Amino acid sequence: MKAVLGCEYSYDVTPLLVGGANCVAPNNPSVLKCASDFADRTSIAGGLHALGIGNNGGVGGFLTNALGGNAVSGLVNLFTGQGSTADVAFGGTRGGLPGAGEGPAGRLSNGIAGVVQDSIAIGANGILNAGGEITTLAGTATTAGLTGAEYATGVGWIKFGYDAASYAAGLAGCAAGLIN
């Protein structure tokens, strides 16, 4: 494996492949961390931060990260040990996965981000069910034929799909040396 995992490589690939730990520069980030960093930079929260939104911490910063952060990178960080104690508190024991269930245990496992997402989802559900249409950047969009919850489900899935795609791009780019 030494010929394959030689010292010339930029990243610690041991999270992905067994062996070669001694031939990796000790201070270089892993491919997974590089991919997570890229995914976070290109997340909705990263874009908002680049625009100066949510940079001052507080409620604004909290909401920006809770709703716009990359869900996939958050989960991967948790399982690869790159997540901090704050990440666990933020994402809960479920790593930010929504749908933890009812009761105190469920709410606790949902983490701070999950509780915020719950509240937003319930709120959006109520608004959409009441009005039947929403105002978007392109104008007013009707949700006829869909319930508010179904519409919100689709929006959430698209967001998670974007998170998955940006993480995949980051993973390939980092492994190929295109992204640092």
How many Cα atoms are found within 13 Å in the side-chain-facing hemisphere of 128? 22
Q: Return the H-helix or E-strand segment holding 134.
A: strand 133-136
CB of 101 to another protein, least distance (A): 9
Output 62 or 160, the one with its CB closest to another protein: 160
C-alpha span between 14 and 28 (Å, rounded):
12
* Dihedral Cα 149, 152, 157, 158, nearest 10 deg: 150
Instruction: State the Cα–Cα distance between residues 6 and 23, nearest whole angstrom.
Output: 6
Contact region with another protein (CB under 8 A), list: 5-13, 41-49, 58-66, 84-92: 5-13
Q: Judged by CB under 8 A, which of 19, 57, 60, 99 binds another protein?
A: 99
- CB-nearer residue toward another protein: 8 or 52: 8
Query: Which residues of the chain form contacts with another protein (CB under 8 A)?
Result: 4, 8-11, 13, 16-17, 31, 34, 71-72, 75-76, 94, 97-100, 117-118, 121, 125, 146-147, 149-150, 152-154, 156-157, 160-161, 163-165, 167-169, 171-178
